[in-house]
Amino acid sequence: MKRMNFLRILSVLFIFSIAFTACNNDDDSKVEPNSISEYKTPKYVFFFIGDGMSTPQINVTEAALNDQDFTLKSASISSTVGIGKLNIRQFPVAGMQTTHAEDRYITCSAAAATALATGYKTTINTIAMNGERTQDFTTMAEMAKAKGMKVGIISSVSIDHATPACFYAHTPDRNNYQEIGQDLIASGFDYFAGGNVRFNKYKDYSLNNFITDATAQGYSYVNTKAGFTALNANSGRVIATLKSLETYTGDSGAMPYAIDLNAQESEDDKITLADFTEKGIELLDNENGFFMMIEGGKIDWACHANDVVSSAMDVVAFDEAIGVALAFYKEHPDETLIVVTGDHECGGLTLGFASTDYETSFDLLKHQTESYFIFTNKVKAWKQAGTKTFEQAMTEVKTSFGLGDESKGLGLSEYEESLLRSAFEKSITGQNGYSADEAYVHYGSYDPFTVTVTHILNNKAGIDWTTFQHTGTPVPVFALGQGQYEFSGYYDNTDIAKKIIEVAKYQ
Ligand SMILES: [Zn+2]
């Protein structure tokens, strides 16, 4: 009804503007009205959220992987990524969103995801509640479920982490993992997949308690490749994760970084975000339609650690999951809407660095073979053993990052070597002559040696970082399918949820 009136007003304005233009030809300050407002209500909605992903993360991924020789360490990642080649490039409509929280300009994943899931601003660390934490906000996933649709929530970090939690849980603090786990079970949503729950944060509850309670509510808990492959449309409610996360040897309950995928020993740990998305379609497709939220959560974590290669590889893994939705869209173009965005930028990542002037050497990044996370675990072991010399450590750096290898164009200047030596001392002995605040500017809360290695490698490529936390940089939005044109323009993160809820008629 509202739309009809709007169209009528538009057509009146249009006739008026023709009459006006006829007698005043030099008025080109006017913007053509957007008349593309016809669309069908999408039965299938995919909402992709790249955590910590804004334009620098997307662009650096295409630039870094443009080199033909880039050795892609993940079995699942195709070698054809390069400038202009991400699936995101196929989206016909782009917009831009502001991300600020109710009480802080630079947001966190909880406040941002509350905005994206509900259409309301909230305060830092709050999960789908108002800023005062006195009232729950209904999420678009809950609305879709109430309409009889099936709902899937997928994340490469723990499934109770802030971003996924904001679609099914309501709690004053993102660290209330036990409450979030219980909300997960009570949601009745059909498919949870990716990382596990963070049961090590439970107060008086365990993973066994969680599985028992989930099973009582009709969920199957699956953590093997065979079990995952066997899942089908008749499997009922499913929680699917990776085997190693059962014993919590992983990275805070998250899936491994895409760059480390091949290094996983068990096939049970080699299920990708794209695999989880593809299975989601198989499990959720039904006559009432579905809503699926897919988060690329470790793009953010790699950016917190200022490791651009691990971030880029996770952007590719995220983009491959988008590719799965694109293939589905091609089969159901009249019934599908796909929206892709990030929740905030992370790291203050930029393309361009002081010492390289206008030049970039993104091809140097191809020599990194593992994530900062794996390398930091090695440094921790050296610290414990207490026998590793700086020279020995640099041999390992050469193997894992190429840094120090002149034949690869990665020889070190005296200045760079002094930075590495100082960081190594800090990592192994805790001493390097820096005051605490000076050390924080250099290393954040990360292992000093590892973060100095990634900084120097990134800088040599012509890339730099301003922070170990999020930034207030706006974030792009991409849309494809029914209602896609609603997503063009420059608006607030709360508007994205409002647009999806309106287009899909969730309310
Ligand atoms: Zn973050």
The per-residue pLDDT for 72 is 55
Quick check: 7 pLDDT over 50? no
In a domain, 13, yes or no: no
In a domain, 31, yes or no: no
The per-residue pLDDT for 69 is 64
Lowest-pLDDT choice from 24-38, 148-162, 187-201: 24-38
Write down the catalytic residue from 109, 155, 156, 422: 109
Give me the mean pLDDT over the 278-288 stretch.
Answer: 98
Q: Is 51 annotated as a binding residue?
A: yes
Task: For the beta carbon of residue 505, count every other beta carbon within 10 angstroms.
Answer: 11
In a domain, 48, yes or no: yes
Quick check: 250 pLDDT over 90? no
Q: Is 126 annotated as a binding residue?
A: no
Look up the CATH number of the domain holding residue 310.
Answer: 3.40.720.10
425 and 295 part of one domain: no
Separation of 28 CA from ligand 1 center, angstroms? 43
In a domain, 15, yes or no: no
Alpha-carbon span 107 to 51, nearest angstrom:
12
Closest CA to 306 of 85, 469, 502, 490: 469
The per-residue pLDDT for 67 is 74
Q: What are phi and psi of 2, to 5 degrees?
A: -60, -40
Based on the residue annotation, tell me whether 109 is a catalytic residue of this protein: yes
356 and 254 part of one domain: no
227 and 361 part of one domain: no
Largest CA distance in the chain: 86
Q: Is 442 annotated as a binding residue?
A: no
Alpha-carbon span 111 to 102, nearest angstrom:
8
Separation of 126 CA from ligand 1 center, angstroms? 14
- Kind and range of the H or E run holding 243: none
Buried b (16+ CB within 10 A) or exposed e, 256-295: bbbbbbbebeeebbbbbbbbbbbbbbebbeeeebbbbbbb
What 3 state SS string does 143-181 have?
Answer: HHHHCCCEEEEEECCCCCCHHHHCCCCCECCCCCHHHHH
321 and 415 part of one domain: no
Model confidence band, residue 38 (pLDDT cutoffs 50, 70, 90): confident
More confident residue, 30 or 410: 410
148 and 265 part of one domain: yes
The per-residue pLDDT for 83 is 84
Give me the mean pLDDT over the 417-433 stretch.
Answer: 94
Separation of 303 CA from ligand 1 center, angstroms? 8
Separation of 166 CA from ligand 1 center, angstroms? 15
459 and 475 part of one domain: no
The per-residue pLDDT for 12 is 44
CA angle at 143 for the pair 195 and 476, rounded to the nearest 5°: 60
200 and 51 part of one domain: yes
In a domain, 158, yes or no: yes
Number of domains in the chain: 2
Separation of 347 CA from ligand 1 center, angstroms? 9
Separation of 295 CA from ligand 1 center, angstroms? 13
Give me the mean pLDDT over the 286-293 stretch.
Answer: 98
101 CB burial (10 A radius; 0-12, 13-18, 19+): buried
Q: Is 278 annotated as a binding residue?
A: no
Q: Is 343 annotated as a binding residue?
A: yes
Separation of 200 CA from ligand 1 center, angstroms? 20
The per-residue pLDDT for 207 is 95
Separation of 257 CA from ligand 1 center, angstroms? 15
Lowest-pLDDT choice from 72-81, 106-115, 124-133: 72-81
In a domain, 113, yes or no: yes
Give me the mean pLDDT over the 33-53 stretch.
Answer: 88
Give me the mean pLDDT over the 279-285 stretch.
Answer: 98
322 and 396 part of one domain: no
308 and 358 part of one domain: no
Give me the mean pLDDT over the 407-429 stretch.
Answer: 97
Quick check: 406 pLDDT over 90? yes
In a domain, 9, yes or no: no
The per-residue pLDDT for 9 is 47
What is the overall mean pLDDT for the chain? Answer: 92
Model confidence band, residue 37 (pLDDT cutoffs 50, 70, 90): confident
The per-residue pLDDT for 13 is 44
The 10s digit of each residue's pLDDT in 459-487 is 999 999 999 999 999 999 999 999 999 99
The 10s digit of each residue's pLDDT in 47-96 is 999 999 999 999 999 998 887 666 554 445 555 677 888 999 999 999 99
Q: Which percentage of the chain shows pLDDT scores above 70?
A: 90
Separation of 327 CA from ligand 1 center, angstroms? 30
The per-residue pLDDT for 77 is 57
Separation of 314 CA from ligand 1 center, angstroms? 14
136 and 191 part of one domain: yes
Q: Is 300 annotated as a binding residue?
A: yes
Quick check: 324 pLDDT over 70? yes
Tell which phi-psi region holds residue 489, choosing left (phi > 0), alpha (psi between -120 and 50) or beta. left
The per-residue pLDDT for 84 is 82
54 and 200 part of one domain: yes
Model confidence band, residue 433 (pLDDT cutoffs 50, 70, 90): confident
In a domain, 307, yes or no: yes
The per-residue pLDDT for 2 is 43
449 and 314 part of one domain: no
Give me the mean pLDDT over the 154-169 stretch.
Answer: 98
Alpha-carbon span 369 to 313, nearest angstrom:
11
Q: Is 173 annotated as a binding residue?
A: no
Quick check: 109 pLDDT over 60? yes
Closest CA to 463 of 355, 354, 352, 356: 352
Separation of 473 CA from ligand 1 center, angstroms? 13
Q: Is 389 annotated as a binding residue?
A: no
Q: What token pair was written down for 216?
A: 């009582």
Domain range spanning residue 180?
44-349+470-503
Q: Is 295 annotated as a binding residue?
A: yes
